[in-house]
Amino acid sequence: WLLCSVLSAKSVRAPREVQRKWLKTTILGACAVLAGPLLWSSLGGDDGVTEVLAHRGEILPGRFIEVPCSEDYDSHRRFEGCSPRKCGRGITDTVITRDEAQRIRSIAEKGLSLGGSDGGASILDLHSGALSVGKHFVNLYRYFGDKIQTVFSEEDFQLYRDVRRKVQLTIAQAFGISASSLYLTKPTFFSRINSTQARTAHDEYWHAHVDKVTYGSFDYTSLLYLSDYLDDFGGGRFVFVEEGANKTVEPRAGRVSFFTSGSENLHRVEKVHWGTRYAVTIAFTCNPDHGIADPVFT
């Protein structure tokens, strides 16, 4: 993303060149996923016609809509038995409990209490350590050092890993692939969005985008919502942008929304008008070269 690409060494402090590169790449990816290219910004306005795929009051054991795959995957290396041949989008409210969602949200709240963007969108990436602070990012682990062990616990990280595994199994089952062929990929991160005016381009999370285009490693994208639409925040619905009528998912704590990452699932997030919206984006790739490890509490 335009402004994310000019991050200085001052704003991203890492002990080694490899770690600096990883952190910067994660930030760029998260910016792309949150902001999306302006190419799509004119599509799918808040006042457009929408059909609701999942209402906030519903408790869905599972809803899956198959859509034709785009050609985006053809320009990337294919992995038989994993790379999308069946494309679509799914929603479930029975994989992650509301209690688990509340506990996961507390991890985000604790981490983001150390910083936070001056604009409306903040990110926390436990893998690379990327944390929004003002108009920039820092490496959480390097910048705060041993203080981190007083903020998080091993139980926090274990819960995060357990939730990731449940989401991974859900995606594998829905698309008829082996969970072992899916690899966690970056950026995977918490997001906190409120109605504060955007200060930089990476605060502009509401532009429509395609994950496979903006970040090529993505094959399957998921979001775990950690707060409730109309109870905790207004606006902020997830929108699949389509001709005729957009398809909308209303967040509720514990709801998992997942989809193949190509142009068949062009999407955006409505602007948050009030309150605070929490979610965690968890992305998977079929390419082991693009895989990342779970975060480890040390």
213-268 pLDDT tens trace: 998 999 999 999 999 999 999 999 999 999 889 999 999 999 999 999 999 999 99
Of 1 and 17, more confident: 17
pLDDT of 8 higher than 60: no
Of 262 and 50, more confident: 262
Instruction: Mark whether 165 is an active-site residue.
Output: no
pLDDT interval class at 37 (50, 70, 90):
very low
* Amino acid sitting at position 59: I
What's the confidence (pLDDT) of residue 34? 53
pLDDT of 170 higher than 90: yes
pLDDT of 292 higher than 50: yes
In tens, the pLDDT along 101-155 reads: 999 999 999 999 999 999 999 999 999 999 999 999 999 999 999 999 999 999 9
3-state DSSP: the chain helix, strand, coil percent, rounded to 5? 30, 30, 40
Question: Assign residue 44 a region: left if phi > 0, alpha if psi is -120 to 50, beta otherwise?
Answer: left
* Amino acid sitting at position 142: R
Q: Residue 95: CB partners within 8 Å, gap ≥ 6?
A: 166, 167, 170, 256
Interior angle at CA 285, CA 282 and CA 291, nearest 5: 85
pLDDT of 16 higher than 70: no
Domains of the chain as residue ranges with CATH: 48-288 (2.60.120.620)
What's the confidence (pLDDT) of residue 278? 98
Distance CA 259, CA 219 (A): 9
Quote the DSSP letter at residue 38: G
pLDDT interval class at 26 (50, 70, 90):
low
What DSSP string runs through 260-289? E-SGGG-EEEPPEEEEEEEEEEEEEES-GG
Structural element, H or E, at residue 99: helix 98-112
Nearest to 130 by CA among 11, 1, 290, 277: 11
Rg, the chain, Cα only: 18
Mean pLDDT of 177-194: 97
3-class secondary-structure state, position 92: strand
What's the confidence (pLDDT) of residue 42? 36
Distance CA 21, CA 9 (A): 10
pLDDT averaged over every residue in the chain:
88
Mean pLDDT of 23-45: 48
What DSSP string runs through 138-152? EEHHHHHGGGHHHH-
Mean pLDDT of 21-28: 55
Q: Are 90 and 64 in contact (CB under 8 A)?
A: yes
What's the confidence (pLDDT) of residue 28? 56
What's the confidence (pLDDT) of residue 40? 38
Q: Are 170 and 273 in contact (CB under 8 A)?
A: no
Distance CA 152, CA 161 (A): 14
Q: Are 257 and 89 in contact (CB under 8 A)?
A: yes
Q: Are 274 and 130 in contact (CB under 8 A)?
A: no
Distance CA 88, CA 122 (A): 28
pLDDT interval class at 14 (50, 70, 90):
very low
Express as a percent the part of the chain with pLDDT over 90.
Answer: 80
What's the confidence (pLDDT) of residue 199? 93
